[in-house]
Amino acid sequence: MRKVFVLSRYHGLKIKEIARQLELSQKTVEKYLSRVLKGLKECLIYKELLSFLLIFSFFMDFFSK
């Protein structure tokens, strides 16, 4: 999946080109890209939530003194 993502996003290849280069079906390439993007989205949401909680706890601590 990593190779598919790199070829798509960093090298700008189309799904058809990636499938041909890696000897995969186009559906497999689409599925891999979908999974990677979903995982990245979930990771970013989790990191944003952690950042918010850290900032919120800092302000709560700061204003409670």
pTM tops 0.75: no
Q: What is the pLDDT of residues 14-60, one digit of tens each?
A: 999 999 999 999 999 999 999 999 998 888 888 888 887 778 777 77
The answer to whether 45 and 30 are in contact (CB under 8 A) is no
Reported as type and span, the H/E element at residue 13 is: none
The three-point CA angle 61-58-46 to 5° equals 135
